[in-house]
Every structure is written in C-alpha cells, then in structure tokens.
Structure 1
Amino acid sequence: MIGKRNERGMALLTVLLLVSVMAVIAATALDRLTLATRLAGNAVTLGQARAWLGTAELLTTTRLDDMLAANLSQTTLDASWLGQPRTIALPDGAVVTATLTDGGNCFNLNSLVSEKQPGVYGTRATGVAQFIALMEALGIGQGVAVNVAGAAADWIDSDDVAGPSGAEDAAYAGREGGGLAASRPMADKSELRGVAGVTPKLYATLEPWICALPVTDLSPINVNTLLPAQAPLLTMLAPDQISPGLARAQLSSRPAGGYGSVYRFWNSPMLARLDIPRGVAAQVQVKTDWFDLDARVGSGGLDVSEQALVDARKQPVMIARRQWTSVR
C-alpha cells in the first residue's frame, strides 16, 4: 500500500510539474504575442505617420518651387516663410506641422576640405580659418578653436598625416573601442561629436551654427535671409574687418526687398570701404540653394518627426536626404 501511495504521489508531482511548465510556456507565448501585436501596431502607426509626413513634404516642396519661381534672381523674406510653422489638417484629425529654414546659413563642416580629384579630399585653409573665426565669435578660446578646426579637417581629409593642431588615426586608436578618422565628408553634423577635442559642452555651443552639406563648397551665406542674431556667420568671413557689431548693423539695415545682388551688398554704405578677398566676397549669396525642412505629426500616440535637406540648386527642388525620429 505504501508503494502504491508513493507512486500516486510521484504521479501527482509529475502532473503538477507538467502543468507548471505548460503555464510558463503559455505565459511566455502570451507575452511574445502581446509584444508582436504591439510591434505590428507600432509599425502600422509609424507607416501611417511617415505617409502623412511624405504628404507634408510634397506640399512644402511644391510651395517652395512656386516661391522660388516667383523670383529667380534672389531669395528674400518677403513671403514670411523663414521659421514659420505651417499646419496641414489630415483626414484622421491629426495635424502635420512643417517648418522651413535656410539650410545654407550655417558653417558647412565639409568646407574644411576641397575635392582635389574624385573621392580625394585635402584640407582647405579658408574653411579652417572661417571655422576658427566662428568659434572665436561664439566665445570659444583661440587654442580650443584652432585644435578643433584642425582635428575636424583631418577627420575629413583623405591623407593620414596630421596637420598643425590636427588629429589623425593615432589620436583615436587609444579611445575605448578604438577608432579611426573617417577620411570622407561628414554625412551629418553630429559626426563632429566624434572629433578629437569636441566635448559635449562645445558641441552644444556649436550645434545651432553648423551643418554638413553634401558638397565641399564654402558656406553659402545668403545675406537676404541671414538674421541679425546670426551675425557671427557673417563675421567669420572676414573677422579682421567685419566685427559682430558691424555684421548685426548691416543685417538690421537690410532693404525690405533684399539686396538684389552680391555687388549691392558689398557696396552698401557700411561695407563699401572694406577690402574683402575676392573668393570670400563671392562666397556670399542672395539666393538660397539649400533649405531645411522640419515636419512633425502625432499619430496613434506616436510623435514622429522628419528632418529633410532640400536641394534647391535646380527646379523642381529635390530632397537630398531625410531622417525620421519617433517618440511614444
């Protein structure tokens, strides 16, 4: 009898163990099903949000084409487009907000180099000098500015020889996880954070003033759209001649309809006596070639944004690059 009782007890324990295992498996399967359902729902929501952002992108670029066609010789602030959020009501009740800014009124990090031959880049002294001047105008010490500008140029250029105050592969090899200089133009301004000497605090100071255009041209500053608060971007072109105060005063006195031509800008009363190098004088523009588009939409509890760079060198304009971010 005792043996049979033990056998029944063991059988009961076995059954209970099997039930427990099955319960764990069922719970795990349910969790995975729930997760899969959420992921599928998020994917659908994200896809819908991106579709709405695509609609906003199309409408914005169409309006931009119309604006540029209305004045082929210059881009001005007449249409009140700069930094003004435009809302688009959607069929599902959501709202897309789209904002355009001048994507060329910034220091182009890729202007630190010039393309010597296809795919081969060498340091450009003018670009380095302008980056140093911008940093100094923003209150960054000369020593730090010189080192960061040199290191950023070395980050992009094709050779492996560190320039004066620069940094090549050896400066990154000792970092945790190792690393090398990119030896190519920057795809995004955030790459500057990886450059030797760039601290989080320094990057936060520079971030509103820099960009990484998909060309190595010197920064294409449009004096028709540059705001007085952006005076350091004008000062950096000729810091020995254009003080921040002079730059602000010049931009504040801009004609309502724009300058009309680069010649008129440099020959305006406050600037006519300056001796600006020809190459730098030609760098200034009255027409915008690049626009930044920031579009945002909330859909299904998910906030999705798109940042796009619009190439307006030819019409119709084209999207040069875009990226999305989402937050629930």
Structure 2
Amino acid sequence: MSGFTLKPQKGTVLITVLLFMSFLSIITINFIRDIKINIAQFSNLRDINQSFWISHSIENISKTIIEESQRLNPSSSILPVIWERGPIIFPFRDGLVSADISDGSNCFNLNGIVKAEEKNKYIRNNDGVLMYSNLLSSLDFSDAEILVMVNSLVDWIDTDTMPGNGGAEDIFYMTAESSYRTPNNLISSISELRAIRGYTEEYFQKIKSFVCVLPNTFHNSINLNTIRPDQTNLLVMLIGKKLNLSVADRIINSRPKEGFRNLDSFWSLNEFNNIEIPNLAKQYVTFKTKFFTLKAKVYLNDSFISISSKLGIKDSGEVYRINKNYGINL
C-alpha cells in the first residue's frame, strides 16, 4: 500500500517544481524586460539632457553672431546674408541642429494692449488696441471675432474686474469645466492665449507668427529692413486698413537689396501717395533692432526638442536672454 501512496506525492512534487520554474521564468522575463526598459529610458534621458546642453551652446553662438553683426553695422540691423535664407543646419555625430535667427522686434507685443498706470496696475491702451485690431483685421478675422479677442486679452491682463464689451473676467472662467482666474498681470508666453476667451487653437496658429511677448508694455518698432515678405501684415497693423495688404506685399518685395536708406525714402514711396500716414505708424518704424528671436531644433538619436529664445541687446552691445521656451512645436 505504501508504494501506491508515494506516486501521487512524486507527481505533486513534480507539478510544484514545474510551477515554480514557470513562475521563476516569468519573473526572469519581466526582470529582463524591465532592465531593457530602464536602459532605454536612461538612454532617452541622457539624449534629452545632452540636447538641452546643445541648445544652450547654440544660444551662446547666436549671441556672438548678433553681437558681431551689431559691431560691424551699428547703425542698422541686417543679419548676415546666410541667416536671411532661413534655418541653418548643423550636422553632428548622431544628430543635427536646425537654427534660425530672426528680428524679434517685428511682431506685436501682446502686453502692449495695456499700459502701466502705476506699479503692477494695468489699464487699457487705446493705441495698442488699435494696432492689434488692425493686425487681426489684416488676418481676415471678422469684426465680431476681433471684438471678443481684443477685449478678452485686455481683461486677461488689466487690473480691474469689470469685463469689456465681448471680453471676459473671472466670472466667465470660473464657470468653465476646469475653472481658473484671470492673472491680472502681464502675459509671460504667447501660449497663454489658448486659455483666453475667443482664442481657439485654429486662431492661435493663425496669429502666432505675428505676435510676441516682452516683459513690458512697450510697443515694438518694426524694422523696415528686416521685415520678411510673410510679415507685411505688420505694416497694415501700423498704417491701418487704408493700406491694402497686396500693396504692403509689393512694398516689401520691391525693397532695395541693401535696404531703405532712411525713413524719408520709405515714406516717399509712390504706394503712400494717396494715404494719410498716422503718427502712430511714423512713431513705431525703425532700422535698428533691439530684440532677436532664436528658434532651434535639436535632433539626437531618437530624441527631439525645440527651443525658442527671445534675445535683447543692451546699449553696450551685449546680448542677453529675455526668455526661453522648450517644447515640441514652438
């Protein structure tokens, strides 16, 4: 009888051993998989970290280029011809960098839609409202859309809590599914527009090339010799609807290769013969740039980052960083 009782025990032990080995195999496979994942994650983190350092180097190189350009041509701001052709590609081992330096003054400073009445107190700036309205109109927004977009932006920044016509204050945003308040302070990034009433993603993409953010409420002076053919809406922004966009296109596309010599030669163009130029337009045009924009993309193995830096120039000629943003699509 004892011989018969041992066989089931041996079978049970065998099954137990097989189950244990299977369990151990599963643990080993998962352990190896986790190691591979950790190695891949470490490699990605290493590449991303290296990409950040590469982008920092590109920014320093760009500062040097701008400083040298200003030193060689202190009375005007025309970048070397190589940068006028668009992004420059710098290949390196395991990747490449695409870098583009452009005039950072040729845009509407969103914070210029208000003015500082006193420290940290902001009120509506009618000149800024007019210029921004002109810009939106040149981009084919309707009057109703412009009303909402302009006044909502003013309400987002200004200090009071009373919404303007078509605008929005806290009471509007607090009733949203994800409630939040207006900052009642200057905007720090153009991406904030996405949180403001009237700015859909479609509208944001439509205007983002024409607007910028500076840490003040000053209006940028548009550099007539660096404004690109795809930025002629900025001339309409200054002069108003009296200047047809097609005429603005013709003015910039026929600009002398060496640029306009002086403001008189610009305002004496035939295209302005029947247009009364507002003082606002004459006040905010220049040949000297105070701000530049660096846009760079770093590709390293399977990692990718995009940076956008706003650079300013001190009176001493030194270039400094105003702000810097990282992302995927800037």
Shorter-normalised TM range? 0.7 to 0.9
C-alpha distance in 2 between matches for 1:287 and 1:253: 20
Alpha-carbon spacing, 1:10–1:86, altered in 2? closer, same or farther (3 Å):
same
**Cross-structure match for 1:250:** 251
Residue 319 (structure 1) aligned with residue 321 (structure 2): yes
Work out whether residues 135 and 236 of structure 2, in 8 Å CA contact, stay in contact via their aligned partners in 1.
Answer: yes
Equivalent residue letter for 2:46: V
If the length of structure 1 is used for normalisation, what is the TM-score?
0.86
Equivalent residues in 2 for 1:205-220, closer than 5 Å: 205-220=206-221
Q: Which residue in 2 is equivalent to 1:116?
A: 117
The number of residues matched between the two structures is 326
Task: State whether structure 2 residue 45 is matched by structure 1 residue 36.
Answer: no
Counterpart Cα distance in 2 of 1:124 and 1:18: 76
Secondary structure, counterpart of 1:237 in structure 2:
helix
Give secondary structure in 2 for the equivalent of 1:76.
coil
Is the CA contact 1:102–1:292 (under 8 Å) kept in the aligned structure 2? yes
State the Cα distance separating 1:298 from its structure 2 match.
2.5
CA change 1:116–1:3 in 2 (3 A) is farther
1:83–1:99 contact (8 Å) kept in structure 2: no
Structure 1 equivalent of residue 291 of structure 2: 290
- Structure 1 unaligned regions, length at least 5: none
CA change 1:115–1:9 in 2 (3 A) is farther
Shift of 1:279: 4.3
* 3-state SS, counterpart of residue 83 of structure 2: coil
Q: How does 1:60-71 map to 2 (within 5 A)?
A: 60-71=62-73
Once the 2 structures are TM-superposed, how far is the Cα of residue 297 of structure 1 from its aligned partner? 3.1
The CA RMSD over aligned residues, in Å, is 2.8
* Distance change in 2, residues 1:37/1:247 (3 Å): same
Preserved contact between residue 302 and residue 326 of structure 1 (Cα < 8 Å): no
1:131-187 CA distances to partner (integer Å, 9 max, x unpaired)? 121111111111111111111111122222212221111111222221222322222
Looking at structure 2, the residues matched to 50 and 187 of structure 1 have their Cα atoms a distance apart, in angstroms, of 21
The answer on whether the counterparts of 2:134 and 2:241 sit within 8 Å (CA) in structure 1 is no
Q: Measure how far apart 1:200 and its partner are.
A: 2.3
Residues 80/270 of structure 1: CA separation in 2 closer, same or farther (3 Å cut)? farther
Q: % of aligned pairs identical? A: 25
Q: 1:73-152 to 2 correspondence within 5 Å?
A: 73-76=75-78, 79-90=81-92, 92=93, 94-152=95-153
Alignment match, 1:299: 300
Shift of residue 272, structure 1, vs aligned partner: 7.0
Cα 1:29–1:161 shift into 2, 3 Å? farther
Displacement of 1:41 in angstroms is 0.8
Q: Contact between 1:107 and 1:219, CA under 8 Å: does it hold in 2? A: yes
Which moves more between the two structures, 186-195 or 93-102? Answer: 93-102
Separation in 2, partners of 1:30, 1:326: 32
C-alpha deviations, 1:34-66, integer Å up to 9, x for none? 222111111222222233333322222211111
Residue 49 (structure 1) aligned with residue 45 (structure 2): no
Q: List runs of 5+ in structure 2 lacking aligned partners.
A: none
One-letter amino acid of the counterpart of residue 65, structure 2:
R
Q: Distance in 2 between matches of 1:302 and 1:102?
A: 28
Per the TM alignment, residue 13 of structure 1 is displaced from its structure 2 partner at its CA by 5.6
| AA at the equivalent of 2:287 | V
Q: 25-34 or 281-290, which moves further after superposition? A: 25-34
What's the counterpart of residue 159 of structure 1? 160
Alignment partners' CA distance in 1, 2:318 and 2:5? 90
Q: Are the counterparts in 1 of residues 107 and 220 from structure 2 also a CA contact under 8 Å?
A: yes
